[in-house]
Amino acid sequence: MATRTQPEQQAPPVQKLRVRYAKRGRARFTSHRDFGRAFERALRRAGVPMAYSSGFSPHPRIAYANASPTGAASEAEYLEIGLSATCDPARVRDALDAALPPGLDVVEVVPSTPGALADLLTGSVWALDLAGVPDAVLDGAVALFLEQQEVRVERMTKNGMRQFDARVAVVALVPATGEEPVGPPPPGSRRLLVTLEHTTPAVRPDDVLAALVALAPEAAPADPPVLTRLTQGVLDRGTGAVVEP
């Protein structure tokens, strides 16, 4: 029997960069897998000198962390890339942003800090734009939700239908201030801000909405909600603040 030749070992990255990108407009319907394919194409078009993994099927060194669900917009998605040569982060940002499709926008590229990226992403602040719900009804649903110790919801996962507590991850649920880094909500909509701790299983903003409607069915929005991640980073459970990594 022929002996399989061991693959060539790849050199470790000489530089690691952290990329913050946004999903805006219709690009919010891009799945995580579709984004990954688009990002790898953008890396090639931009001429970024990527480092590769070792093994029989080398892959570019890209580390994703806590991607937003399909259908949700975001101003704060993160990934890290390993490079085979040192590059100017600002030039990498400009080249990648130009190579990506409209709506997938590179906001910032900086040198990575030591440690795992996922360890720096422990919380998120989301905007929930809800259409056609009277203010009194929505305020009542929020107050009722915050009074609960537990609110069970169900969501279909890759392992089937799963039930979990949506209340445990909610650090804050408040009306918007109007100072969010995105445009105003659509006419006839009301915006809530929810701060979520990243838990296992993960609680998503649509889970929080499902919990609100379970407690107060009249709070169901007239149109599909618009969900936007505003900030993602290190959560301070004491103050409820989320600090960008």
Q: pLDDT tens digit string along 212-239? A: 999 999 999 999 999 999 999 999 988 9
Whole-prediction pTM = 0.92
Instruction: For residue 153, count CB atoms less than 10 angstroms from its CB and return exposed for 0-12, middle for 13-18, buried for 19 or more.
Output: buried
Question: Is the pLDDT assigned to residue 1 strictly greater than 60?
Answer: no
The whole-number pLDDT of residue 3 equals 59
**Around 146, how many Cα atoms within 13 Å sit in the side-chain half-sphere?**
12
Q: Which amino acid makes up residue 141? A: A
Percent of the chain past pLDDT 90, that is, above it, reads 80
Among 69-78, 92-101, 144-153, 177-186, the range scoring the smallest mean pLDDT is 177-186
Confidence band, pLDDT 50/70/90 cuts, at residue 2: low
For position 161, what pLDDT does the model report? 87
Does position 92 have pLDDT exceeding 80, yes or no? Answer: yes
pLDDT surpasses 90 at 5: no
* Per-residue pLDDT tens over the stretch 133-159: 999 999 999 999 999 999 999 998 777
**To 10 degrees, what angle do helices 205-215 and 135-147 make?**
100
Cα distances (Å, whole numbers) of residue 137 to 133, 174, 233: 7, 14, 32
Q: pLDDT digits over 20-62, tens only?
A: 999 999 999 999 999 999 999 999 999 999 999 887 788 899 9
Prior bond of 201 cis (ω within 30°) = yes
CA 129, 212, 139: angle at the middle one, nearest 5?
70
The pLDDT of residue 76 is 97
Condensed to tens digits (0 to 9), the pLDDT of residues 180-194 reads 889 899 899 999 999
Binned at pLDDT 50, 70 and 90, residue 9 comes out as: confident
Domain covering 121-243 in this structure, CATH number = 3.30.70
Across the chain, mean pLDDT equals 93
Mutual orientation of helices 89-99 and 32-46 as an angle, nearest 10°?
120
Around Cβ 100, how many Cβ atoms within 10 Å?
21
Contact 121, 77 (CB under 8 A): no
Residue ranges of the chain that CATH labels 3.30.70.580 = 15-117
The domain made up of 15-117 has a fold known as: Alpha-Beta Plaits (3.30.70)
pLDDT tier for residue 6 given thresholds of 50, 70 and 90: low
Whole-Å CA distances, 57 to 7, 50, 63, 76, 82: 9, 15, 17, 31, 17
Residues 6+ apart with CB under 8 A from 157: 201
